[in-house]
């Protein structure tokens, strides 16, 4: 689908006032412990000494935030007027996150509490060049396969984001069986899967979104070229941070330039914000170039704030930022 200017003018941001359609967001809900290292990793990690790596980073700034891919995507989709339903498993310490979601009006109907487990925890260290080193404790996520797509009522679209391995494989089978189109977002979970499993994800997906590193890894693990992967799905999107993103659709390659950023503060959760924007565009029957551009704007707004869920732009601000970046309103 190419860009239609007349249609784009009709698809103004006022669309968020219409009844939202449910989106099932499968993935982790986690606490993010975010540490800011006021130097550069590359000045402390010597390539020739990698075989005896033993480093410690002094991090004067530390915060504990609400995160996890399902939580972050749901948060951003809610900002856009969507109706997200996160699906995941959490532990005994989920209380503060539950209250946060309740205040936002995000349903936890498909979020299961696993007694005796911790809610998944990510420990993220970011340096002054926005490079990140992350350690992740899955906790209750190890039980995420108890959730079933079949239990979700009325979902119009879904996304399989990083989660427990068995759950991701199961959801990949269940979405097509239920006739629900879905995005495959392999993210940091890609290393859990072999080539055959990844080829199955690709065969079952309608859209794939991956960053440029994940895209290269996906090709290496599957033995498929980028063109072959793109032919298997309705569209493939490769995000490249400040260099924008690339949309592969119907044999056409479209470069999407990044929306402008006023100030870079924290890249954590920017990819999730992008995915929420993309889902919003698809749900509202916009062309995929516009969907990617909404994702870019949401990522730009997110990177200007600390933590994955601190930005709270008004609808008018999102619409204005979009128009400033791309010359039309959606």
Q: Which of these is catalytic: 243, 272, 285, 320?
A: 272
What is the rounded distance in angstroms from the CA atom of residue 194 to the CA atom of residue 199? 9
What is the rounded distance in angstroms from the CA atom of residue 104 to the CA atom of residue 79? 9
Cβ(82)–Cβ(279) below 8 Å? yes
SS (H, E, C) 22-39: EEEEECCCEEEEEEECCC
Neighbours of 261 (CB within 10 A): 15
What are the residues whose beta carbons fall under 8 Å from the beta carbon of 127, sequence distance 6 or more? 37, 39, 40, 41
Residue tagged 């239920």 (tokens):
178
Q: Which of 284, 269, 27, 30 is nearest to 159 (CA)?
A: 27
What are the residues whose beta carbons fall under 8 Å from the beta carbon of 84, sequence distance 6 or more? 22, 23, 25, 73, 74, 77, 78, 106, 107, 276
Q: Provide the token pair at 298.
A: 């949401």
Q: Is 149 helix (H, G, I), strand (E, B) or coil?
A: helix
Backbone angles phi, psi at 218, to 5 degrees: -60, -40
User: Would you call 272 a catalytic residue per the annotation?
Assistant: yes
Cβ(72)–Cβ(272) below 8 Å? yes
Supply the residues annotated as catalytic.
272
């Amino acid at each position: 689908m190419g860009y239609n200017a007349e249609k784009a003018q009709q698809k103004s941001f006022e669309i968020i006032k219409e009844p939202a359609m449910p989106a099932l967001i499968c993935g982790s809900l986690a606490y993010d412990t975010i540490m800011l290292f006021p130097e550069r990793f590359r000045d402390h990690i010597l390539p020739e000494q990698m075989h005896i790596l033993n480093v410690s980073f002094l991090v004067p700034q530390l915060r504990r935030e609400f995160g996890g891919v399902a939580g972050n995507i749901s948060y951003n989709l809610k900002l856009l007027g969507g109706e997200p339903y996160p699906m995941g498993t959490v532990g005994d310490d989920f209380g503060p996150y539950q209250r946060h979601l309740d205040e936002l009006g995000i349903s936890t109907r498909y979020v299961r509490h696993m007694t005796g487990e911790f809610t998944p925890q990510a420990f993220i260290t970011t340096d002054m060049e926005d490079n990140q080193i992350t350690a992740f404790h899955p906790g209750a996520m190890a039980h995420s396969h108890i959730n079933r797509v079949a239990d979700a009522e009325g979902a119009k679209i879904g996304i399989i984001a990083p989660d427990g391995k068995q759950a991701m494989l199961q959801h990949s089978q269940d979405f097509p069986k239920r006739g629900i189109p879905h995005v495959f977002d392999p993210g940091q979970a890609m290393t859990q899967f072999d080539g055959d499993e990844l080829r199955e994800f690709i065969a079952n997906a309608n859209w794939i979104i991956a960053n440029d590193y994940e895209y290269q890894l996906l090709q290496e693990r599957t033995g498929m070229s980028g063109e072959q992967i793109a032919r298997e799905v309705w569209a493939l999107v490769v995000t490249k941070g400040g260099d924008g993103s690339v949309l592969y659709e119907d044999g056409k390659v479209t470069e999407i330039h990044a929306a402008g950023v006023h100030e870079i503060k924290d890249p954590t959760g920017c990819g999730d914000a992008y995915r929420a924007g993309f889902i919003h565009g698809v749900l509202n029957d916009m062309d995929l170039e516009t969907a990617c551009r909404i994702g870019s704007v949401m990522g730009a707004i997110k990177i200007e704030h600390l933590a994955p869920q601190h930005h709270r732009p008004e609808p008018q601000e999102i619409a204005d930022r979009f128009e400033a970046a791309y010359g039309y309103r959606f």
